[in-house]
Structure 1
Amino acid sequence: MKLRNNLLLLAMAGLPLLSSQAAEPTFNCAKVPAGSIEALICQTPSLGELDQHLAKVYQQASAKAVNEHPPLLKAEQRGWIKGRDDCWKAEDKPLCVSDSYRQRIAELQARYALLPATGPVFYSCDGIAAKEVVATFYPTDPASVVVEFGDSTSLMLQQVAASGSRYQGRNESFWEHQGKAVVVWGYQAPEMQCEPRAERNKQ
């Protein structure tokens, strides 16, 4: 009777029942090594929820990547897991793991267009019409943008910036400020000054 009353009080307070179960990760916590990053995820409900979220997003991405050649998604995911597990070296391990999950979720959602996008937005750079950058923005967490220039594409995640919106990829960056964009494409490459092309963006 006492247990029933406690459950009733939780329900009346609007608190979720079995919340600890809901936060369990997708892997078997009984089989993870003690002191490992997987053990930390098992012990931290918020990280367990992120693991569940990533599993759902990965499944959605897999459905879109079924005809992908070469099949990069599985290999990249194995690499990401190895990188996540390297968080044992971090001073703040839970923060490192949380950031790793959030970034991976955002990357998958943007790369495989799993969320509604803003764009594409076309930019002409350095006053040369043929020097075109195309940006498609996604409301991920952190926010992301897929930028195309020439024959290459870069997925970038939003970084903290004093003004405007700044995104960083592997060796590329995109800084949107007051309707214009500064784009760097390649390691130590010069900045390109880009402006939206009104005639293309109306299409």
Structure 2
Amino acid sequence: MKPALACAIVPVFCFALGGTLAHAQSAEASPAGFDCAKANTRIEKIVCGNPTLAMLDRETTRVLTLTREDASVSQPNILKDQDNWLKQRNECLSSTDRERCLADSYVGRISALRADSPTARAAKAGISLGPFNAECDNGNASLTVVFVNSKPSYAYVAGRKDAIVLKQALSGSGARYEAQYPKGQARLWNKGNAAQIALPGGRDMSCTMTPAGK
């Protein structure tokens, strides 16, 4: 199954498909958000050698650049957050599941930057979309969701206390994402603005997704 593009994931809030396809193809054909010919650290070589991580790195660089150009964002805070994130990302080198750790780290950073910057959210290019507010079980639960349409695609789901990253899985209809956590499986299925979301070890909740405030 091909990774869902933004219009397939949340068609109600779709941006121009032509621009999305053009950037996705460019990201796939190009290396990471830095010059892979000059990669000299272990983490840089790992990212450049993995097409998915290279796409995620490229998207992180794109969204970070837009955020750095956003006058409404505290630039000292962004620089501090970026330094902290780089340290956290590099700790994945010692992870027993290095690829998942790195992918989760990139998806989390993309989601944080999109949440911080109206300029990043408004840009009509790239492979990320959101955040969306997900009101679940008639307003009894509120979550935030960001989609990253790399290959494979990912969904970032954040609640009041915790955040999880889900990886795209096969689905007969709509888009489905799954991940296993110590407390149990987590999953998200959505079609249009309707979604079913289960946090780790929890039950499926019926949710309605709407764009977060700009």
TM-score by length of 2: 0.48
Tell me the equivalent position of 1:117: 132
Tell me the equivalent position of 1:54: 60
Kindly indicate whether residue 39 of structure 2 is the aligned counterpart of residue 27 of structure 1: no
Q: State which of 72, 75, 79 in structure 2 corresponds to 1:74.
A: 79
What is the CA–CA distance in structure 2 between the aligned matches of 1:178 and 1:102, rounded to whole Å?
23
Q: Which has the higher contact order (CA 8 A, sep 6+)?
A: 2
Q: State which of 82, 88, 93 in structure 2 corresponds to 1:83.
A: 88
Q: CA RMSD in A?
A: 3.9
What is the CA–CA distance in structure 2 between the aligned matches of 1:46 and 1:179, rounded to whole Å?
30
Tell me the equivalent position of 1:137: 144
Per-residue displacement from partner, 1:145-170 (whole Å, max 9, x unpaired)? 464xxxxxx67336755585328xxx
Q: State which of 74, 86, 99 in structure 2 corresponds to 1:94.
A: 99
Residues 188-199 of structure 1 aligned to structure 2 (within 5 Å) = none
What is the CA–CA distance in structure 1 between the aligned matches of 2:206 and 2:49, rounded to whole Å?
45
Per-residue displacement from partner, 1:43-68 (whole Å, max 9, x unpaired)? 2222111111111222333344x333
Contact 1:117 1:137 in 2 (8 A): yes
What is the CA–CA distance in structure 2 between the aligned matches of 1:157 and 1:63, rounded to whole Å?
28
Which of these two proteins has the greater Rg computed from alpha carbons?
Answer: 1
- Percent of aligned positions with the same letter in both sequences? 22
**What code does the residue aligned with 2:66 have?**
Q
Tell me the equivalent position of 1:191: none
User: Per the alignment, do residues 162 and 99 of structure 1 end up closer, same or farther by CA in structure 2, a change over 3 Å counting?
Assistant: closer
**Alpha-carbon distance, 1:111 to partner:** 4.5
Contact 1:111 1:155 in 2 (8 A): no
Show structure 1 runs of 5+ residues with no match: 1-17, 125-133, 148-153, 168-174, 181-203
SS at match of 1:118: strand
**Alpha-carbon distance, 1:25 to partner:** 1.0
**Alpha-carbon distance, 1:108 to partner:** 2.6
**Alpha-carbon distance, 1:80 to partner:** 1.0
What is the CA–CA distance in structure 2 between the aligned matches of 1:55 and 1:40, rounded to whole Å?
17
Q: State which of 93, 104, 108 in structure 1 corresponds to 2:113.
A: 108
TM-score by length of 1: 0.50
